[in-house]
Amino acid sequence: MQSLTICPRKTVGEQKFSLGCIVYINRHSPAPPAPPSGSSEDTILEYDRANLWVAKVLEVRAKDNQHVYLRVFWLYWPDELPNGRQPYHGANEFIMSNAMDIVDAMTVAAPAEVTQWDEEKDEQEDLGQRFFRQFLDIKKLGGPKGSELSAIRQHCICHKYYNPDKTMYKCPDDECGTWNHEECLIEAILDKTYMRLVEESGPAANGTEATVLSTVKDAVTKTLFPAEKLKDLRELQKSSSPHKPQVATPKSTSKSKKKLNGANRWQGMFNAKIINGDETLGKGVKVTITDERGQDPETWTEDVECLKCGNIFD
């Protein structure tokens, strides 16, 4: 019997293979038609997930040009993991594994552009079309839940992970340097807004049940401020209050303070959107807050503070 020869690189048809390359492998035979040219990224992603496996080539062996085999490590879509897709997984993210297999080179559909993301590098890199940062150790399957996956970097005061499809903001203070999740910033901002406009300025400040005041303009006499009076109110607070302005810390965003009757207490009352400042609003990261309690919603802009140290993003 003719033995298989190890090849550092090999061409089969139109496909070229080399050690370490990553390829797409057809799940079905025959493979269904690919999405037409110009299809959306979502359409292509849906097709790829349904019809393609992904593998890293470890070794190429050939008997002849018609009999070429690849020894591979499989990469997995997060949906294929034992515990499924997690909130931190990006839409274009794979998980590298040490699950080894032998496949026929004729089943390869195309080369795959997959980047390894070193998350410890503070500035986000260009992750390319697809990427991986985490490893699945199949030897640990069946052990404690989650132990089969390599650890990844935690961020923010919530100590959770980074989904690269979402936005984070890094504290400008070099001594802090904390990356803040956008959703955590918004929750803290809206929670603080609720405390200032409803609890501290309304009946809740006296220990009674919180009630919703009509609009910001109608509430001026009850110390709630309209957008155009924001600056004046801040000056008044500095001169008359012995307390420092509240900083959104882990304590101020705790579950007991964020929840009221089982839901975000500000939901349906206030919303916020983080934006980049300009010459009018001022430079740096800003947040626009809208009070939706009245018929004429009021909107104003504030600075955004780091959730850990309270420094303003500039």
∠ CA 30-33-34, nearest 5°, is 125
Whether the Cβ atoms of residue 4 and residue 61 lie closer than 8 Å to each other? yes
pLDDT at 302 over 50: yes
Whether 266 shows a pLDDT value over 70: the answer reads yes
User: 257 and 220, same structural domain?
Assistant: yes
Q: What is the CATH number of the domain that holds 145?
A: 2.30.30.490
Residue 159 inside a domain? The answer is no
Residue with tokens 């260009």: 126
Beta-carbon contacts of 43 under 8 Å, excluding residues fewer than 6 positions away, are 35
| CA-closest candidate to residue 218, choices 141, 276, 147, 295 | 295
Judgement on whether residues 9 and 149 belong to the same structural domain of the protein: yes
Same domain, 117 and 196: no
Which amino acid would we find at residue 153?
R
What tokens appear for 50 in the block?
């349904």
Asked whether residue 173 is assigned to any structural domain, the reply reads: no
CB atoms within 10 A of CB 20: 7
By residue range, what is the domain housing residue 295? 179-303
Q: What is the mean pLDDT of residues 69-84?
A: 93
DSSP 8-class letter at 166: S
What is the number of structural domains in the chain?
2
Same domain membership, residue 131 and residue 193: no
131 and 215 together in one domain: no
- Is the domain of 117 the same as that of 200? no
Residue whose C-alpha is closest to residue 308's, from 127, 194, 151, 171: 171
Q: Is 305 in contact with 245 (CB distance < 8 Å)?
A: no
Whether residues 146 and 218 share a domain: the answer is: no
pTM strictly above 0.75: no
Least confident of 4-13, 22-31, 91-100, 199-208: 4-13
DSSP code string of 163-226: -TTS-EEE-S-TTT--EEEHHHHHHHHHHHHHIIIIITTSGGGGTSPP---S-TGGGGGGT---
**Pick from 135, 153, 171: which residue ends a domain?**
153
Q: Which range is least confidently modeled, 20-24, 236-240, 285-289?
A: 236-240
Q: Is residue 293 part of a domain?
A: yes
139 and 184 inside one domain = no
pLDDT of residue 277: 67
Per-residue pLDDT for 264 more than 90? no
What would the pLDDT profile of 139-186 be if each residue is shown by its tens digit? Answer: 999 888 889 999 999 999 999 999 999 999 999 999 999 999 999 999
Per-residue pLDDT reduced to its tens digit, 111-135:
999 999 988 887 656 787 899 999 9
- Average pLDDT of every residue of the chain: 78
Helix, strand, coil shares, percent, the chain, to 5: 20, 35, 45
Tokens, residue 241: 């209050």
Mean pLDDT for the stretch of residues 226-251: 40
Say whether both 122 and 23 belong to one domain.
yes
DSSP state of 134: E
Scanning the chain, the segments in alpha helix (DSSP H) are 41-51, 182-194, 230-240, 255-258
Residue 49 has pLDDT above 50, yes or no: yes
* pLDDT at position 35 over 60: yes
Confidence of residue 231 (pLDDT cuts 50, 70, 90): very low
Residues 150, 161: Cα–Cα separation, whole Å:
13
